[in-house]
Structure 1
Amino acid sequence: MPGDFPDPSIMKVGDTYWATATSSNWGPVFPLLKSTNLTDWDLVGHVFPNELPSWADYYFWAPEISQEGDKTYIYYTAHKKGGNLAVGIAVADTPAGPYRDLGPLVAQKDGSIDGFPMRDENNQLYLIWKEDGNSVNQPTPIWAQRLNEEHTALLGEKKELFRNTVPWEGNLVEGVCMVKRNDYYYAFYAGNGCCGHNCTYGIGVARAKSLLGPWEKYEKNPILTKNEKWACPGHGTVFNRGNRWYMLHHAYDTRSFEFVGRQGVISEFKWTSDGWPEFRNDGTVPTKAAPVVPRNFNDEFTNATLQPSWQWPVEERPTVAVRDGKLYVTARPQHSGAVLGQHTTTADYTATTTLLNPGKLPAGTVAGIAAHGDPENTLALTAGSGKLQLWQLEKGKQKALGEVKLPTTATAAVALRLQAQQGNQFRFSWSADGGKTWQGVPGAPALINGAYLPPWDRGVRAGVLVKGPATATAAFEEFNLENEVVTAQTEGDK
């Protein structure tokens, strides 16, 4: 599942696999992907494509997709307005939606995350979740509590199943997924540091003969760890195809790391003679996968609406229109402006777009192409006020990197290009002749270091922005993103 798809969850309905993943502070919230072969995934929509749940504002994490009877449920984490992280739930009549939010189920003082449904030996439904103690330097208990069949409220008292107690787990255990096999319940879980270049994540397992325990952690934990190709595997869902067992989880490609983000990976495991799971490849993520095909993207804006893969900051949804082969974006004055972005899937890629009528943009308005981290961290090449400007926004502070006067030959249209190398080295250029010849911005570095761009839990997006008064609108014609597949970094790859 190439691209930034952390904490992935999977289920099968009929002959179709459905998956979703963390969207964090990018909207639309929670992608819905489907596949019949576990290799080719189509993005078919989102759990919350338009309005956010009324109780939540950001940090949309760890959706768990589950088919129960004729209903599809999404157990998810979000930040509660005026509070902390909470576990909520949404329901639909089909996996594709539309989904109706049922509200938050649990919101502890230190935060509640990573909800997972499981039925006990008496077929009673439970919610499993993590208390987010590590956010306040406390342990991280895994809790279980009865959930009513309407999926609207918890019942009775919660019971602790286990917590972080052994060295490899570091300051947390989280992301529990459970399966029942023979006489045991198995809890697959993640431990240690999830994110960033210095991550330490791995996967462990515990088992119990009763859902409420006592739980026994496997003495050979962690059972899935990093290798040269993939780093920090963790937080996923177990599933089987006949007698073969798998886990869809996330991991960082060691070439692109946090710049692409945590990508969806499937690892196979078998069961030992004494009933414990054992991952293949000596307990590491597979180094060889299905043939890698670059996941490129092209939008000529010929549809009546945006393609579903476009994303925006979840709290700053832009006003856009698509018509006659053009994308119209209304400006925003704050942060990076009005933002649209696309997943990147490799460390090396090229994005291009054409900005129409840059010479007619209203005063105080700029528009162009950008590498987006979040609203306060951006690299952009924009046109406006008669010039082209290359600039960066880092922690909300803007810095000019170079500029050039907009030539009269480009006042009707200017092509803009962004090129990334190794995930964090960026080059920007522009063209006044439709992309036949390209030139850089005088005074700007040949390569710009964008290592500061991605937040701790997200990858970089490539896209467009329009910054200025909310009365201004900019028009774009075609956006193209070409990803170059390069194998993982090795000692001989300099």
Structure 2
Amino acid sequence: MMHYADTSRGRHYSKDPAVVKYAGRYWMYYSIPPHRDGREPDGWAIGIAASDDLKMWERVGEMAAEQAYEANGFCAPGAIVLDGAIHLFYQTYGNGPKDAICHAVSHDGIHFERNRTNPIFSPTGDWNNGRAIDADVIVHEDKLFLYFATRDPLGEIQMQGVATASLDSGFGAGAWTQRCEESILRPTLPWEGQCIEAAAMCKRDGKLLMFYAGAYNNCPQQIGCAISEDGIRFERLFTEPLLPNGEPGSWNSSESGHPFLFEDEDQRTYLFYQGNNDNGKTWYLSFVEIGWEDNGFIPFIKR
């Protein structure tokens, strides 16, 4: 089993994976924390690893802060390949309700050009507090659907929203139309606690599936799944987690969280996620392969 952790910050620590295949290699983007000793860089950033087989990963670089809006940190990337380039949608960090989604593009997997209009999106409406984090995107009905997590006006409940942009828009600020006037998925099941975050999108025969993290980190966070015909109205497929945290003593006993769904060129699908067994002192990334039943719409974990 793959267990990857970046050690560039003085501990084994990688969160929030996003994986694409580009130019013949697999690329993984993930969150890395500030240095423990306070030396530069002192904010959250995005690490970059590459692989030839999805199992053995090598750190090949990182995105360091370049702009004022990244000064307090940035993290939680979502990645997609469009028109021969890697598009990264990530969040600012450390700004509370003012955290928002940003966009950058790479043609080599390592160096990213920021969208000149960043940040590109934050939600409106009296149902949320204006924050947008944990972006994931997917092409649906000739648009790019942007899924994000936000919080209620009191900043207590984490929940999901969605916006769309034209595929030829450049994805900058002003290109996005918010498609919901309330949360499209908010925590209601006991295991979800006060949080649904980290939407991980997949398309199956025109329907959209959202793998999501329920509960805040180490509560434990676990992974569920919901389905939608239009990408806006979702129904849960299960009342219990699809991927729970591990048994006591296992590497992910504290949580299995923050998923990302990667479909390879052979149509095999892999659910990447984060886990740890020490309540967040370390974080590792791993994956399981997803199988499909009931006409290809019900996911299960391949063993």
Q: Same fold (TM over 0.5)?
A: yes
Tell me which residue corresponds to 2:8. none
The one of 215, 227, 230 equivalent to 1:207 is: 227
**In the alignment, does 2:287 pair up with 1:272?**
no
Report the CA distance shift for 1:9/1:278 in structure 2 as closer, same or farther (over 3 A). Answer: same
Specify the SS of the correspondent of 2:14. Answer: coil
Task: Deviation per CA, 1:298-336: give whole Å up to 9, x if none.
Answer: xxxxxxxxxxxxxxxxxxxxxxxxxxxxxxxxxxxxxxx
* Alpha carbons 1:22, 1:63 under 8 Å: kept: yes
CA distance in 1, matches of 2:148, 2:216: 18
Specify the SS of the correspondent of 1:267. Answer: strand
Amino acid at match of 1:279: I
**In the alignment, does 2:29 pair up with 1:20?**
yes
CA distance in 1, matches of 2:170, 2:283: 34
1:74 Cα deviation from its structure 2 partner: 1.2
1:264 Cα deviation from its structure 2 partner: 0.5
Tell me which residue corresponds to 2:269. 245
* TM-score, with length taken from structure 1: 0.51
The 5 Å alignment of 1:327-406 reads none
Specify the SS of the correspondent of 2:120. Answer: strand
Report the CA distance shift for 1:243/1:56 in structure 2 as closer, same or farther (over 3 A). Answer: closer
* Alpha carbons 2:223, 2:259 under 8 Å: kept: no
Task: Deviation per CA, 1:219-274: give whole Å up to 9, x if none.
Answer: 3431001223122111121123425321111011x3x5533x22101112211225
* Alpha carbons 2:104, 2:112 under 8 Å: kept: no
CA distance in 2, matches of 1:94, 1:183: 31
CA distance in 2, matches of 1:75, 1:10: 12
**In the alignment, does 2:71 pair up with 1:57?**
yes
CA distance in 1, matches of 2:114, 2:34: 20
The 5 Å alignment of 1:138-149 reads 139-148=157-166, 149=169
Specify the SS of the correspondent of 2:177. Answer: strand
Task: Deviation per CA, 1:181-222: give whole Å up to 9, x if none.
Answer: 124210000001214xxx31100000012112x311013431
* TM-score, with length taken from structure 2: 0.81
1:83 Cα deviation from its structure 2 partner: 6.1
1:68 Cα deviation from its structure 2 partner: 0.9
CA distance in 2, matches of 1:258, 1:94: 32
1:106 Cα deviation from its structure 2 partner: 2.3
1:61 Cα deviation from its structure 2 partner: 2.4
1:11 Cα deviation from its structure 2 partner: 0.7
* Alpha carbons 2:115, 2:172 under 8 Å: kept: no
Of Structure 1 and Structure 2, the greater strand share is in 1
The one of 177, 202, 226 equivalent to 1:156 is: 177
Tell me which residue corresponds to 1:66. 80
Identity %: 20
CA distance in 2, matches of 1:30, 1:217: 31
Specify the SS of the correspondent of 1:194. Answer: coil
1:111 Cα deviation from its structure 2 partner: 1.9
Amino acid at match of 1:227: G
The size of the alignment, in residue pairs, is 270
Tell me which residue corresponds to 1:39. 55
Unaligned stretches of 5+ residues in structure 1: 282-494
CA distance in 2, matches of 1:36, 1:164: 37
Unaligned stretches of 5+ residues in structure 2: 6-11, 36-40, 124-128
Report the CA distance shift for 1:171/1:81 in structure 2 as closer, same or farther (over 3 A). Answer: closer
The 5 Å alignment of 1:78-157 reads 78-79=92-93, 84-102=98-116, 103-108=118-123, 109-120=129-140, 122-133=141-152, 136-137=155-156, 139-148=157-166, 149-153=169-173, 154-157=175-178
Q: Find the structure with the greater CA-based Rg.
A: 1
1:280 Cα deviation from its structure 2 partner: 3.5
* Alpha carbons 1:144, 1:161 under 8 Å: kept: yes
Amino acid at match of 1:251: G
